[in-house]
Every structure is written in structure tokens, then in C-alpha cells.
Structure 1
Amino acid sequence: MQYRTLGKTGFNISAISLGTWQVGGKWGSAFDEINADAILNTAVDNGVNFIDTADVYSDGESEKAIGRFLKTRKEKLFVATKCGRQIQPHVNKGYTPAVLRKYVEDSLKRLQVETIDLIQLHCPPTAVYYRPEIFGLFDDLKKEGKIQHLGVSVEKVEEALKAIEFDNVTTVQIIFNMFRQRPAELFFEQAKKKNIGVIVRVPLASGLLTGHYTEQTVFESGDHRQFNRNGESFDKGETFSGIDYATGLQAVEELKQIVPVGKNLAALALKWILDFDAVSTVIPGASKPEQVTRNLEALNEGSLSKEQIQQVQAVYEKYIKASVHHLW
């Protein structure tokens, strides 16, 4: 495993870590405690020491599973969770210090910890980033010992840039992959200047960049890749990175041409992200243990060649940029 510093937190965390949306979220299958435990153990057995979750993943079951798991391991593990998405309707006025405080305290109980290493606002409406009292709450929670650090999970680059104006924001979790390249522009530059930890989510574009899907692939009715393709339930950008599925398949076919014999597209896609020095960690999810080990293969990859980078960019320009770049 390779380790990197998570910005101002000072945490030394695995370059490839674990996102747990699949472990407990809208990916078709009901929460499975045994499978969740197997995924977590496989990750940590392979050197992963940073686990990202959220209070809404399977209505808290993901946090509970991690809480139980932490008691079985002796390694120093860092856990990041999120708050705010429980607010319904999910609008600016629903965000209040009292509501968020209660969410944090509930997460502490589910995780069975005294302090949360990293609490993140969970993709709040853009207007929330302009409310100092919301960010001030987390200073209070830090003084009380309930959290160690504050971060944000964002949908848009605009939100990321606004969030890091607050001194107590230490990390930004953002979608970044071969199909969502805008963060590599101004945001990465500013993140490095301010020593912000960058946590990359949706690195494989909801699985598209594994190269395993076809037009015949069928997703379960409870899987967001089936019900949220047009943003019916939450931001469209969370599903296939916001691109049209058929277009994504075309782009993937061209990307497969640059994968060396004996290698896989997912590993190449993850290594492409890790080659950006602003990135602290990538948090691909896994719905089964073998996906964890597959993702970690990226650590054995050399950096992409200049030619490969140019080919990735050409595919982005040809298929993706016009419909995605300006939106997020």
C-alpha cells in the first residue's frame, strides 16, 4: 500500500481507500452484514486504513457495520462519515446547527466511537456554503471532542472553491475521473495552495470505467444506475458521472484500446487519478471482496505514458466534455 497525507488533517492514509456506498446504499441489494464485514476485512488486510461512509447509507446500517468492525481490528484506522442528507426535503432551510449536531451525535453512537476522525457535510445545497453559522457549528463540536476535522462532499467545483474559504474545512470529497475532469483545473490548484485533502469519489463512473458493462447489462430496480440516470432521485452527476449510458459505453470501448495486454481498465482509470498530485486518496466502492483486491491492482501500475494521457483526453473531448464539463 502507498500512503499520502490528507491535507491539513495530517492523517497518513492509504492512497486507495474504501468507499462504502455499495456496502450500504442504493445499489440494488439489501444490506448484508456478512458481506459488509468481508469487504471491510479484505480492505484492511491489504493496507487500507481510511474508510468513508455516511449516515444515510442503508439508514445507518453502514455506520453500524463499521462500528462493529472497528472493535475487531487493532490497526489505526481513520473513519470519515457524512451528515445532512437525512434532511427532507433536502433544501437550504433544513440545514440548522441543531439538526446537524443531532446527526453527528447519532453517528457517534452508531460508530461506537468517542470522536469522529472526519465529518463531512454531505452534498448540501449550494446556498449552505454561504452560511458561516453552519460551518461554525463544527468548531464547537471539535472543542467538545466529538469530531477531529471537518470536510465537505460536493457536487460542483463552485461549491468546493467556496467551501475551502472556511478555515476549518480540511478536506473536499469530489467526483473526479476520466469522464469528469474539471476539478483538475482551478480547484486542484487552490486545494494545493491551501493544503486541502482531496478525496476522490466515483472514480470508476459508477462502474462504467471497469469496462464490464454492455448495452445488455441489466441493473436491479433498487440500483441508482437504473432509477437515477436522469437525476430522478438525486444529482444526476452521481450516476455514471452524469453522462449518457450509451455514450459512456462508446467512450469505454475506445479507452480499452489503451489498456496494456494483461491489465484492466479499472486499474488504469484509478492510476490516472492517482497521478494527480493534488489527490490524497481515491475511494472506490466494492459490493464484494474481490472488487477490493481488483481496485488495489492500480497500485502496481506505472504512471500513464504521455501517449496514454493524450488518448484519454481525446476520448474525453470526443464523447464527454460538451455534455458534462460545464455542469459540475
Structure 2
Amino acid sequence: MKYRRLGKTNVNVSVVGLGTWQYGGEWGMDFTQLEVDQILHQAKTEGINLIDTAECYGDHLSERFIGDFFSRDNREDWIVATKFGHHFHGNFERTRHWSADEVLTQLDASLKSLKTDYIDVYQAHSCSNDEFQNDELWTMLDKQKQAGKIKHLAISLKDNDDPFQTEKASEVGADAIQVVYNRLDRAPEEAIYPAAIQQDLGVLARVPLASGYLSGKYKPGATFESNDVRSKHDQNQTERVLNMVEEIARHEVPEGVNMASWALAWCLKHEAVTTVIPGCKSPEQVIANARAADLELVANDHPQSR
């Protein structure tokens, strides 16, 4: 595994992290604690130290799985990133909660679920620009940093082509951003990444496998069960994407290289990107994802490391 500094912090994260939306039950599978434990154990074996989760992956369900694992592992070995701003009511059903008091309640619920007394990276979860401009919220969060409940603040961007929140990140005390970025969606390169580089923000690239389409597992004509979020995607668009993936596999992925590993390494070659946070459903997928760090596309240190 390789590691990069998360923006201007003193935190070194593995270039491949672990996304955990799937534990909330919206990706076609309901997980058991044993299955989660096996995935997290394999991640640790591979040198992965970053877990990305959220308050609304289930009603703190993903966080509870992770917290239960921590009760049998060393919490200090992990960098935990979770999020605030939403409440889960059922699969694909959320309400938004952005007042300072509501977020403080969410923070305490996340700490309880994760069985920890601090969160390494606490992220505003896909907030609108209006929700973002809330001095009372950021003041409250700064007080929680001073109290030790939060180590670092970050912004998980709602849009991957609007640089407003990235440009304002340092003003609200954020050290990192999270954004959708993959071989099929390069929008952040235009304005978001330059703003992140200018402020020395860490960048967590989410959906680096384009919702699994860049894993190489799915061919044109693939369909998904109703409890899988991909069943909500426009089917015509899904078909176009899968045809594009076949072309990429044919012309860009080196022979003998796992497509998922290549797709993650492709993201990591951009100088702004600190880490990728793919989801996975098995220890075998963890191993394949971790292999991305071995590819020549991936530098060992963040280009801005000092």
C-alpha cells in the first residue's frame, strides 16, 4: 500500500480507502456483521487505513457495523471519515437536517454508533450552497473540534462541477473535500481540482469505479434488482455507459491488468487526488482494489507533500 498526506493535515491515508455505503442495504445485499468484519480485516491486511461512511447509510447502520468491528480491533489504526446532514427513513428515502442543533445530535449519534470518542474527518454531506452558508453550523463544528470530538472537517460535494464550496473550504475550516471522479466523469478537473490544489485540500475521490460499471463485471444489457441503487439509474444511460466501458477496456486497460485496479489507479494519477474510496462486497474485491496501489500510475507520495 502507498500513503499520501491528506491536504495540509498531518494525517497520512492509504491511497485506496474503503467506501461503506453498501453496508446500509441499498446495493442489492444485506450484510451480516461477520461479512463486514471479514472485509475490514482484509482491508487492514492490505494496508488500507481509511474508512468512509455516513449517517444515512441505513439509519447509522453502516456506522454501527464499523463500530462493532472496532470493539474487536484497534480503533487507533484507522482514519474514520463520516458525514452529516441527512436522516435515513428507508431505502432511497432521506430527509435533510442542517441546523447546528440537528447536526450536533447527528454527531453524537455517529460517535455512539462508531463506538469512538472522536471522528477523524467529519464531512458535510452533499449540502446545497444555501445549506453550506450557515455560520452557526460551522461555529458549532469548530467548537466540537476544540472539544476533541472532531479532528478535521471536510465537505462531501453535492456537485462535481461547481467550485463554490471548494473555494470557500478553508474559510469554514475544512481540510479536505470529497467528490465524484472517475474515468467516465472528469468534471472536477476543470475548476474543483485547481481550487483544491491552491488551498492544499485533501481530495477523496468517490464513485471511482462509476458505481461498479468500471469494475469490468458488467456487460451491456446488465440489469439490477430493485434493492440495488443502480436500478434507479436511467437504463438507456446505463447501456451507453457500459458500451463506453467496453471501449475503455479494449483500448486503455493494459493486457493482464484487472480493470477495477486500473480504474482506481487512473484516478490516483491526478495530482489533486489523495485517495479513492471504492465500495466492495467481499474480501476478494478488497484485494483487487488494493492492487491499484501497485500500478505504475500511482505515485508513492502526494505531489504536494513537504
- By how many angstroms is 1:64 displaced? 1.2
The runs of 5 or more residues in structure 2 that have no matched partner are 299-306
Q: Residues 181 and 42 of structure 1: is their aligned pair in 2 closer, same or farther, counting only changes over 3 Å?
A: same
> Percent same amino acid among aligned pairs?
37
Q: Does 1:249 align with 2:252?
A: no
2:191 aligns with 186
1:98 aligns with 101
Q: Does 1:76 align with 2:77?
A: yes
Q: Residues 224 and 87 of structure 1: is their aligned pair in 2 closer, same or farther, counting only changes over 3 Å?
A: closer
- By how many angstroms is 1:165 displaced? 4.7
Within the candidate set 216, 233, 242, 1:229 is matched to 233
The runs of 5 or more residues in structure 1 that have no matched partner are 231-239, 305-328
Q: Does 1:266 align with 2:257?
A: no
1:237 aligns with none
- By how many angstroms is 1:40 displaced? 0.7
Could you tell me which amino acid in structure 1 is paired with residue 276 of structure 2? Answer: V
The answer on whether the counterparts of 1:123 and 1:154 sit within 8 Å (CA) in structure 2 is yes
Could you tell me which amino acid in structure 1 is paired with residue 139 of structure 2? Answer: G
Please give the TM-score of this superposition, normalised by the length of structure 1.
0.83
Q: Does 1:175 align with 2:169?
A: no
Matches within 5 A, 1:1-328: 1-74=1-74, 76-86=77-87, 90=95, 94-156=97-159, 157-158=161-162, 159-226=164-231, 228-230=232-234, 244-257=237-250, 258-303=252-297
Structure 1 stretches of 4+ with a deviation exceeding 4 A read: none
The answer on whether the counterparts of 2:58 and 2:88 sit within 8 Å (CA) in structure 1 is no
Measure the CA separation in 2 of the matches of 1:36 and 1:110.
15
Measure the CA separation in 1 of the matches of 2:41 and 2:213.
25
Measure the CA separation in 1 of the matches of 2:149 and 2:175.
16
1:236 aligns with none
Measure the CA separation in 1 of the matches of 2:30 and 2:266.
32
Measure the CA separation in 2 of the matches of 1:218 and 1:22.
18
- By how many angstroms is 1:31 displaced? 3.1
The answer on whether the counterparts of 1:121 and 1:151 sit within 8 Å (CA) in structure 2 is yes
Hey, which of these two has a bigger chunk of helix by percent?
1
Measure the CA separation in 2 of the matches of 1:44 and 1:189.
32
Q: Deviations over 1:74-118 (max 9, x none)?
A: 362111111111188745xx4210000000001111111111111
The answer on whether the counterparts of 1:85 and 1:124 sit within 8 Å (CA) in structure 2 is no
Could you tell me which amino acid in structure 2 is paired with residue 277 of structure 1? Answer: E
The answer on whether the counterparts of 2:49 and 2:79 sit within 8 Å (CA) in structure 1 is yes
Could you tell me which amino acid in structure 2 is paired with residue 256 of structure 1? Answer: A
2:301 aligns with none
The answer on whether the counterparts of 1:66 and 1:111 sit within 8 Å (CA) in structure 2 is yes
Of 173-182 and 68-77, more deviation after overlay is shown by 68-77
- Where 1:250 maps in the other structure, the secondary structure is helix
- By how many angstroms is 1:9 displaced? 2.7
Measure the CA separation in 2 of the matches of 1:43 and 1:111.
18
Could you tell me which amino acid in structure 2 is paired with residue 83 of structure 1? Answer: F
